[in-house]
């Protein structure tokens, strides 16, 4: 029996648990007023999905010196606890609430109170009901994936696996949770398209593993064996799997889930679960905090920020993909590698990589080594568009498919080429300078490696944009090989010759940073040119924030790497892949 004093302490702790949860902070700072704080409010903190969401939000807050506090409930069904958290935050006048709501309708009155008090509110993952929002005069921005689209990926996959015929069961989420409703409708629409598929039953299991086990057990008694089951989240898929295990149906019934949690990944690896959806909760957390911070500064933000979705299937687990990169000393290619590694991990792929160190011969040897190891796929970021040709021909003879990324390979056919629209990016830079230099002036262009497609395309777009502005002239072309050191040396020489320019455009950020280094180190007083780079690497963005450079063209190297892995996996699954994929670019200006 408990000591009476210990018993009293125990009940005191239970009573104050919600307030202790509310006091938790990622970066506590008593001197920071609450109006500068962002609160991330989640549900089911025991769910690994929300671990990832929290990690993404914290990463963004740390990178941007924001004060973020994290709160949540233990169960997804604990609406009252989440409502209590919101009321507490409102009473303490936080600057922003970023919330993944436990219910799409019932929290609207509380969120209305927050908005009326001047707080920023951002909705994550589970979209708030539009009709209920309209009734309360709300228009809360939403960050998340298209749940119907994600479930449709699983539906289309299972339909292909069943060859368009079969009996299916759907295990739903909490009734009234819009993300669950959208997943149900998206799946059913995709899996039944064209006929031949029968949905024999659709029942809620409240997002819970235990409930799903009980529900599936009853449905199997009622309907007998079925061909496939779709679960609106992975936690329920685990319960369904347990019910199938007890009846010796595992592997005979195809199971699809949603969320790509670690426990499901183990089952995918063993072929016991067949498919799930990765909806990148870490990006939801990042985008949610980013939009909250922008809105708190008075900036206009979009009504909807969509996050990516990926179909994860058991076939990709254990596949071997190799990636050869031109130069990992360049932050751009380091980011590309990170994106590829993250995506490979999500798909259960064994990714190996090698750095060519900008050496054509070394890259050819690397491709030969990958071919000798009989990898399933090779992704090539060429050191040189022409020199890489023999390596790709070698891979083709070994019957290993190849994707190129960022830079093209001349004279050979590949499965797909993934890159930014470099011509459009160069054009963005040229149009920017045309706007800023209305009175005209001389421009220096720092070029990348000769023979590399990105150099030619960025230069073409840039010069095409300037062609209509006769008062703007590119008076100097310097080949700096995408190197910061080479660009600094070239700019040092130009300054020593007392050459001056209204602007400098470099084909990558490394080179524009080298130009910046030379200008800062120069003892002579020179007119300060507008400096425009290309890539939006972290150091260039910091220089832009400090006003040291004027603009940069933002590529998405991490997305390129991830998309290359995705495309390789689709090809290995036998799905059609486009011959080229172009990623959009953005111009980032110092004033923004």
User: How far, in Å, are 47, 311, 322, 378 from residue 404 at the CA level?
Assistant: 37, 22, 12, 9
Answer yes or no: are the C-beta atoms of 466 and 432 closer than 8 Å.
no
How many domains, the chain?
4
User: How far, in Å, are 144, 537, 546, 547 from residue 591 at the CA level?
Assistant: 28, 18, 11, 9
Within this chain, do residues 109 and 202 fall inside the same structural domain, yes or no?
no
Within this chain, do residues 300 and 375 fall inside the same structural domain, yes or no?
no
182, 233, 244: which is closest to 205 by C-alpha?
Answer: 233
Tell me how far apart the alpha carbons of residues 208 and 77 are, in angstroms, rounded to a whole number: 9
Within this chain, do residues 159 and 138 fall inside the same structural domain, yes or no?
no
Tell me how far apart the alpha carbons of residues 581 and 584 are, in angstroms, rounded to a whole number: 10
Matching residue, tokens 């922008």: 294
250 inside domain: yes
* Strand (E) or helix (H) holding 371: helix 360-372
2 inside domain: no
349 inside domain: yes
Give residue 187's domain range: 147-278
What does the angle CA 329 – CA 331 – CA 335 come to, to the nearest 5 degrees? 120
* C-beta atoms surrounding 242 within 10 Å: 16
Within this chain, do residues 287 and 248 fall inside the same structural domain, yes or no?
no
Within this chain, do residues 31 and 140 fall inside the same structural domain, yes or no?
yes
Within this chain, do residues 152 and 268 fall inside the same structural domain, yes or no?
yes
Strand ranges of the sheet holding 166-172, from the earlier edge strand across to the other edge: 197-204, 166-172, 228-231, 254-256, 275-278, 310-313
Instruction: Name every residue whose Cβ is closer than 8 Å to that of residue 131 and which is 6 or more positions away in sequence.
Output: none
Instruction: Name every residue whose Cβ is closer than 8 Å to that of residue 287 and which is 6 or more positions away in sequence.
Output: 143, 305, 307
579, 588, 512: which is closest to 556 by C-alpha?
Answer: 588
Answer yes or no: are the C-beta atoms of 272 and 250 closer than 8 Å.
yes
269 inside domain: yes
Q: What are phi and psi of 43, to 5 degrees?
A: -125, 155
227 inside domain: yes
- Pairing, β 120-124 against β 67-72: unpaired
Answer yes or no: are the C-beta atoms of 380 and 412 closer than 8 Å.
no
Print pLDDT tens along the chain (592 aa): 444 443 433 333 333 333 333 333 333 344 447 899 999 999 877 788 898 899 999 999 998 889 999 998 887 778 999 999 999 999 999 999 999 998 889 999 999 999 999 999 999 988 899 999 999 999 999 999 999 999 999 999 999 999 999 999 999 998 878 889 999 999 999 999 999 999 999 999 999 999 999 999 999 999 999 999 999 999 999 999 999 999 999 989 999 999 998 899 999 999 999 999 998 899 999 999 999 999 998 989 999 999 989 999 999 999 999 999 999 998 889 999 999 999 999 999 999 999 999 999 999 999 999 999 999 999 999 999 999 999 999 999 999 999 999 999 999 999 999 999 999 999 999 999 999 999 999 999 999 999 888 899 999 999 999 998 989 999 999 999 999 999 999 999 999 999 999 999 999 999 999 999 999 999 877 789 999 999 998 899 999 989 999 999 998 899 999 999 999 999 998 889 999 999 989 999 985 4
Within this chain, do residues 546 and 577 fall inside the same structural domain, yes or no?
no
314 inside domain: no
Within this chain, do residues 162 and 120 fall inside the same structural domain, yes or no?
no
Within this chain, do residues 354 and 394 fall inside the same structural domain, yes or no?
yes
Tell me how far apart the alpha carbons of residues 273 and 314 are, in angstroms, rounded to a whole number: 7
Within this chain, do residues 427 and 515 fall inside the same structural domain, yes or no?
yes
Return the pLDDT at 9: 38
Structure tokens at 401: 């498919």
Within this chain, do residues 402 and 463 fall inside the same structural domain, yes or no?
no
Within this chain, do residues 430 and 540 fall inside the same structural domain, yes or no?
yes
5 inside domain: no
592 inside domain: no
Whole-prediction pTM? 0.75
CATH number at residue 55: 3.40.50.2300
Answer yes or no: are the C-beta atoms of 62 and 4 closer than 8 Å.
no
**DSSP characters over 84-114:** HHHHHHHHTT-SEEEE--S-SSTTHHHHHHH
**Helices and strands of the chain, counted as H and E runs:** 20, 24
């Amino acid at each position: 029996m408990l000591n009476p004093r210990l018993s009293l302490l125990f009940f005191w702790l239970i009573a104050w648990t919600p307030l202790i949860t509310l006091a938790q902070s990622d970066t506590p700072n008593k001197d920071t007023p609450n109006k500068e704080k962002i609160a991330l409010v989640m549900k089911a903190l025991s769910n690994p999905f929300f671990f990832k969401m929290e990690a993404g939000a914290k990463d963004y807050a740390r990178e941007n010196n924001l004060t973020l506090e994290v709160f949540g409930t233990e169960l997804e069904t604990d609406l009252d606890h989440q409502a209590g958290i919101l009321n507490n935050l409102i009473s303490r006048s936080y600057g922003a609430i970023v919330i993944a709501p436990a219910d799409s309708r019932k929290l609207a009155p509380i969120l209305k109170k927050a908005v009326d008090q001047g707080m920023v509110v951002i909705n994550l993952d589970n979209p708030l009901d539009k009709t209920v929002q309209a009734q309360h005069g709300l228009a809360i921005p939403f960050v998340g994936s298209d749940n119907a689209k994600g479930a449709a990926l699983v539906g289309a996959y299972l339909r292909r696996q069943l060859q368009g015929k079969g009996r299916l069961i759907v295990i739903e989420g909490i009734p009234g949770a819009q993300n669950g409703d959208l997943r149900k409708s998206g799946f059913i629409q995709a899996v039944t398209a064209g006929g031949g598929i029968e949905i024999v039953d659709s029942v809620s299991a409240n997002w819970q593993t235990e409930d799903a086990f009980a529900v599936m057990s009853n449905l199997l008694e009622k309907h007998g064996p079925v061909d496939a089951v779709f679960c609106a989240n992975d936690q329920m898929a685990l319960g369904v799997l347990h019910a199938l295990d007890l009846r010796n149906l595992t592997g005979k019934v195809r199971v699809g889930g949603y969320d790509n949690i670690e426990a499901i990944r183990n089952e995918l690896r063993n072929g016991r679960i067949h498919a799930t959806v990765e909806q990148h909760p870490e990006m939801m957390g990042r985008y949610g905090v980013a939009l909250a911070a922008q809105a708190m500064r008075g900036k206009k933000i979009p009504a909807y920020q969509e996050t990516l979705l990926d179909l994860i299937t058991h076939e990709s687990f254990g596949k071997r993909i190799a990636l050869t990169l031109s130069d990992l000393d360049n932050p751009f290619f380091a980011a590309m590698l990170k994106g590829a590694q993250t995506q490979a991990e999500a798909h259960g792929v064994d990714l190996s990589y090698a750095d060519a160190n900008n050496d054509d011969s070394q890259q050819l040897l690397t491709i030969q080594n990958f071919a000798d190891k009989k990898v399933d796929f090779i992704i090539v970021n060429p050191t040189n568009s022409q020199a890489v040709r023999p390596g790709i021909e070698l891979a083709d003879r070994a019957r290993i498919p190849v994707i190129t990324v960022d830079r093209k390979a001349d004279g050979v056919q590949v499965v797909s080429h993934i890159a930014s629209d470099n011509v459009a990016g160069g054009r963005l830079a040229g149009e920017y300078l045309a706007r800023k230099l209305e009175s005209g002036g001389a421009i220096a262009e720092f070029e990348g490696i000769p023979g590399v497609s990105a150099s030619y395309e960025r230069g073409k777009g840039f010069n095409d944009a300037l062609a209509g502005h006769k008062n703007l002239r590119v008076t100097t072309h310097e080949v700096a090989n995408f190197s910061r050191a080479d660009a600094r040396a070239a700019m040092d020489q130009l300054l020593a010759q007392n050459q001056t320019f209204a602007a400098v455009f470099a084909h990558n950020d490394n080179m524009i940073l080298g130009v910046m280094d030379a200008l800062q180190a120069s003892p002579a007083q020179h007119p300060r040119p507008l400096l425009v780079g290309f890539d939006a690497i972290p150091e260039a963005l910091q220089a832009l924030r400090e006003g040291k450079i004027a603009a940069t063209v933002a590529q998405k190297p991490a997305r390129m790497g991830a998309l290359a892995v995705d495309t390789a996996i689709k090809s290995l699954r036998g799905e059609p892949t486009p011959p080229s994929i172009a990623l959009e670019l953005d111009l980032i200006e110092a004033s923004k």
